[in-house]
């Protein structure tokens, strides 16, 4: 059995971005590793320019995230606006001072995150849990315009693996009206950076894919590739384990 820290990411809008090209910041359907690490860094009080602190946090943790099924699926939107003082590497910046940007957001989504420690971590799960209860800096859901609407911390639990841990946690509830409108058990999707051989009875492995959201390097916005393993889960929590 291992220890897992369970967090809830809930808000009216969330903005977890994939490959960013300054002007175009497309939406990713689940919180990225770099996004979750940034949220935790804010809670712990790690400065954005503290490369050693951010690297230590990245080496300390692994994570899996469940996109909690909703009776009414989350909606995606794109926000258009203009920005000044963009990075000099942005194409065409030398010819003008203001650029156009398109940023993706997800409305009314809910995510449940399971965090666990790697070998020789810099922080304990209890320290990280306390930081999510009393954050040093204000956490937000991917972008500063996306506030949280409930406490991040949910619980610390014991389980054989992250999938088993998530199966012990009910998805975020819908409204009563939405609950009554459902005609079938909801299906939630789990994205994990660890592949599991032992699966809960209601979980099925779907596929694996390669993504680039592993922070590294001495400069901002440098990311390595990693594998993500995708599972689906039917129904609510299984607390019989």
What is the tens place of the pLDDT at every residue in 91-131?
554 555 777 888 899 998 999 999 999 988 999 999 999 99
> Of the ranges 13-17, 98-102, 126-130, 217-221, which one carries the lowest mean pLDDT score?
217-221
Q: How far apart are CA 177 and CA 173, in angstroms?
A: 11
Nearest-5° Cα angle at 237, 64 to 182: 105
73 by DSSP, 3-state: which?
coil
For each of the domains in the chain, give its residue range(s) and CATH number, in order of start.
Answer: 2-74+104-234 (3.30.70.2660)
The model carries a pTM of: 0.85
Alpha helices in the chain (DSSP H): 33-44, 51-60, 125-133, 162-167, 176-181
Mean pLDDT of 2-31: 86
Confirm if 146 and 55 have CB atoms less than 8 A apart.
Answer: no
For residue 140, the model assigns a pLDDT of 94
Residue 64 scores a pLDDT above 90: yes
Which one is predicted more confidently, 203 or 40?
A: 40
Which has the closest alpha carbon to 62: 193, 152, 157, 155?
A: 193
Cα four-point dihedral sign 200, 66, 168, 61:
positive
Query: What's the burial of 103, exposed, middle or buried (CB within 10 Å: 0-12/13-18/19+)?
Result: buried
215: enclosing H helix or E strand: strand 203-215
Share of the chain above pLDDT 70, in %: 81
What is the tens place of the pLDDT at every residue in 155-212?
999 999 999 999 999 887 665 444 544 445 567 899 999 998 888 888 899 999 888 7
HSE-up of 161 (CA within 13 Å, CB side)? 13
For the record, the structure tokens of 58 come out as 């990245």
> Of the ranges 21-25, 29-33, 88-92, 149-153, which one carries the lowest mean pLDDT score?
88-92
């Amino acid at each position: 059995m291992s220890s897992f820290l369970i967090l809830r990411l809930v808000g009216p809008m969330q903005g977890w971005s994939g490959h960013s090209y300054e002007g175009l910041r497309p939406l990713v359907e689940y919180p990225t590793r770099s996004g979750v690490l940034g949220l935790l860094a804010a809670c712990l009080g790690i400065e954005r320019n503290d490369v050693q602190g951010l690297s230590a946090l990245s080496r300390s943790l692994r994570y899996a995230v469940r996109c909690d099924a909703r009776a009414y699926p989350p909606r995606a939107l794109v926000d258009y606006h203009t920005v000044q003082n963009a990075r000099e590497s942005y194409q065409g910046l030398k010819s003008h001072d203001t650029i156009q940007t398109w940023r993706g957001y997800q409305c009314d989504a809910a995510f449940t995150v399971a965090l666990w420690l790697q070998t020789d971590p810099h922080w304990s799960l209890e320290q990280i849990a306390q930081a999510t209860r009393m954050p040093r800096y204000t956490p937000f859901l991917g972008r500063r315009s996306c506030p949280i609407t409930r406490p991040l911390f949910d619980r610390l639990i014991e389980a054989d693996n992250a999938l088993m841990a998530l199966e012990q946690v009910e998805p975020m509830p819908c409204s009563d009206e939405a609950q009554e409108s459902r005609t079938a058990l909801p299906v939630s999707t789990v994205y994990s950076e660890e592949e599991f051989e032992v699966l809960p009875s209601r979980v099925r492995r779907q596929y694996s894919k390669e993504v680039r959201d592993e922070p590294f390097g001495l400069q901002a916005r440098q990311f390595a590739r990693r594998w993500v393993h995708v599972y689906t889960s039917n129904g609510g929590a299984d607390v019989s384990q």
